[in-house]
C-alpha cells in the first residue's frame, strides 16, 4: 500500500504484508489535512482511490 499526497509524493508506504480477504482499517495518525491517493496491490491486481483528511 502506498499513500500519495496531492503533488504525487509518497507519504506512507507499507512493506509486503499478507491479509485475509475482507475489510481492513489503517490508522493514519500523523498525516496532515489534505487530499490523498492510495494504491493497493494484491498479486497482479491493483486498486486505487482517493480520500480526504480533515481537521477535527
pLDDT tens, position by position, 1-48: 999 999 999 999 987 788 888 888 888 878 899 999 999 988 899 999
Q: What is the pLDDT of residue 29?
A: 79
Could you give the CA distance from residue 25 to residue 44 in angstroms, rounded to a whole number?
22
- Find where cell 486505487 sits: 48
The confidence score (pLDDT) of residue 56 equals 67
Q: pTM here?
A: 0.79
In angstroms, the CA 4 to CA 39 distance is 8
The residue segments making up the domain with residue 26 are: 2-53
How many folded domains does the chain comprise? 1
Provide the pLDDT for residue 4: 96
pLDDT of residue 32: 92
Amino acid at each position: 500500500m502506498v499513500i500519495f499526497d496531492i503533488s504525487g509524493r509518497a507519504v506512507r508506504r507499507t512493506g509486503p504484508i499478507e491479509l485475509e480477504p475482507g475489510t481492513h482499517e489503517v490508522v493514519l495518525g500523523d498525516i496532515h489535512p489534505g487530499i490523498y491517493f492510495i494504491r493497493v496491490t494484491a498479486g497482479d491486481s491493483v486498486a486505487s482511490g482517493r480520500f480526504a483528511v480533515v481537521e477535527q
